[in-house]
A = this chain, B = another copy of it.
């Protein structure tokens, strides 16, 4: 038990260290030596928990993405009206990103980078399936434009990354009003 806990702690420390380092200087700054030192562990120990650097990054991606979508769909009730559910999910996502800036920043960095390999990227994609299903329902109920889910995603969820980035860089702070405006734009872009 104690042993197992220690192992879990080490694994977690390694993931956390990687997250921090990648955020601060990109994947190139997150050398295995630095990850090890940050996690207070020998470089060799990393390889007890991960196959190699790519695996470490992939696993981190999946775990962060999972945390993110778990939060996003935490109170999702398929029977609720589409717009209500959509609003809940949207604000859950935004709140996750606001409350977990490191995780948000990491996910943003993964988006347009060859950091993550394709299979892992696909695996991550499956996590937001419920959102796609909700949108589909909205289309059927004539609430949402009958356009590709990729378009719907591009104009409602994807802009968050930019807004969070501007927020972090103090160029455009997100508060109750701006969040409201942002959501309104998201909804306006897809509603019929």
Binding site for B on A (CB under 8 A): 24-29, 105, 108-109, 111-115, 145, 147-148, 150-151, 153-155, 158-159, 161-163, 165-166, 171-172, 178, 181-182, 185-186, 188-191
Chain B residues lying within 8 Å of A190, measured Cβ to Cβ, are 185, 188
**Identical copies of this chain, number:** 4
Q: Is the CB of A114 within 8 A of B189?
A: no
Once A108-B112, A181-B145, A186-B189 are accepted as A-B contacts, the answer to whether A163 and B172 lie under 8 Å apart by CB is: no
Given A172-B148, A189-B155, are A161 and B28 neighbors across the interface (CB < 8 Å)? no
Residues of chain B lying within 8 A (CB to CB) of residue A148? 172, 178, 181
Q: Given B25, B153, B172, B191, which contacts A151 in the complex, CB threshold below 8 Å? A: B172
> Given A28-B27, A109-B113, A114-B26: A154 and B162 within 8 A (CB)?
yes
Q: Which residues of B contact A162 (CB under 8 A)?
A: 111, 150, 153-154, 158
Q: Are B178 and A151 neighbours in the complex by a CB distance under 8 Å?
A: yes
